[in-house]
Amino acid sequence: MPEAYLQRDQPPGVPPLELTGERTLPDVPEENYWFRRHLVVYEWTAARVRGLDVVDMACGEGYGADALARAGARSVVGVDANPEAHEHARLRYGGEGLRFDRDLVDGWEGEVDAVCFLQTIEHVEEPGAVLEHFKRLLRPGGTAYVSTPNVLTLAPKGAERSGNPWHVREYRAEEFAGLLSAHFSHVELHGLFHARKLRLHDWALKAGWDAVHPRVGLTGWFYGWFTPAISVRDFRLRPGSPAQLQKALDFVAVCRP
């Protein structure tokens, strides 16, 4: 049986969640790369929604909704249908202006200035209907922030998709931009890339690092340090056209009706 990973060091009374691959989690050292890769986009978005009413759709564990609230959003609602994730988020995160609703992303109703839907559209059977629902939730001048992984960098070389069982569809840049443009009149696309020590690690891999560390017995020691040490500063976002973002890790779109 594969090893189960549970969140560590949760506050008293907060049940830890198990890492299943459906969503990323904080407080799991082995998952830190993916958690920081998600968190950096939440923090980037949070800087753009200060003073606004926001809904975080498919909020999962709740860390993203909490990041939006702590950065100064006027109010944040985290929406997730999973009962364990909802209960964990409700118990762990709180504070003025932050609440969690257990609901489907296409069933929640409200009026907001911003919708966040990060790393989830690839899980959706009917993304067009979901995007239309989000558009109806937005007040005049509102914005939807939508992100998804780039299938060209997520899937193994030559494969059509990553094999993640939770993903219904994975997108290339032009496919993602086309989907969003069918529902929003203005779509601004950004790509997420490695920076700092992750960029150095990429260079090391190109130089043959994966052939070296097992031979000299450094694998456990190195990655036992390296993976937990990754921070949001080891990623960067930059705008571009679909053609310019072919090598991005993830796509982040700013969408306005």
- Tens of pLDDT, residue by residue over 103-137, are 999 999 999 999 999 999 999 999 999 999 999 99
Asked if the structure places residue 7 within a domain, the reply is no
Query: For the chain, what is the domain count?
Result: 1
Residues 6+ apart with CB under 8 A from 126: none
Is the pLDDT at 52 greater than 80, yes or no? Answer: yes
Cα–Cα distance for residue pair 60/253, rounded to 1 Å: 20
Average pLDDT, the chain: 95
Asked if the structure places residue 15 within a domain, the reply is no
Helix axes 127-137, 173-181, angle to 10 degrees: 50
Amino acid, res. 172: R
pLDDT bucket at 69, cuts 50 / 70 / 90: very high
Asked if the structure places residue 81 within a domain, the reply is yes
pLDDT computed for residue 233 by the predictor:
98
Q: What percent of the chain has pLDDT over 70?
A: 99
Query: Residue 135 sits in which domain range?
Result: 29-194+237-256
Is the pLDDT at 172 greater than 70, yes or no? Answer: yes
Cα–Cα distance for residue pair 210/205, rounded to 1 Å: 6
Asked if the structure places residue 220 within a domain, the reply is no
pLDDT computed for residue 2 by the predictor:
44
Q: Is the dihedral of CA 154, 171, 39, 163 positive or negative?
A: negative
Asked if the structure places residue 176 within a domain, the reply is yes
We report the CATH number of the domain holding residue 56 as: 3.40.50.150
pLDDT computed for residue 1 by the predictor:
31
pTM: 0.95
pLDDT bucket at 3, cuts 50 / 70 / 90: low
Asked if the structure places residue 189 within a domain, the reply is yes
> What does the pLDDT average to over 168-179?
97
Q: What is the 3-class SS of the chain, one letter each residue?
A: CCCCCECCCCCCCCCCCECCCCCCCCCCHHHHHHHHHHHHHHHHHHCCCCCCEEEEECCCCCHHHHHHHHCCCCEEEEECCCHHHHHHHHHHCCCCCEEEECCCCCCCCCCEEEEEEECCHHHCCCHHHHHHHHHHHEEEEEEEEEEEEEHHHHCCCCCCCCCCCCCCCCECHHHHHHHHHCCCCEEEEEEEEECHHHHHHHHHHHCCHHHHCCCCCCHHHHHHHHHHHCCHHHEEEEECCHHHHCCCCEEEEEEEC
Q: Which residue has the higher pLDDT, 157 or 74?
A: 74
Asked if the structure places residue 54 within a domain, the reply is yes
Torsion of CA 160, 166, 168, 173, to 10 degrees: -60
Asked if the structure places residue 199 within a domain, the reply is no
pLDDT computed for residue 161 by the predictor:
87
Cα–Cα distance for residue pair 251/246, rounded to 1 Å: 10
Residues 6+ apart with CB under 8 A from 34: 24
How do residues 13-22 score in pLDDT, each as one tens digit?
Answer: 999 999 998 8
Residues 6+ apart with CB under 8 A from 94: none
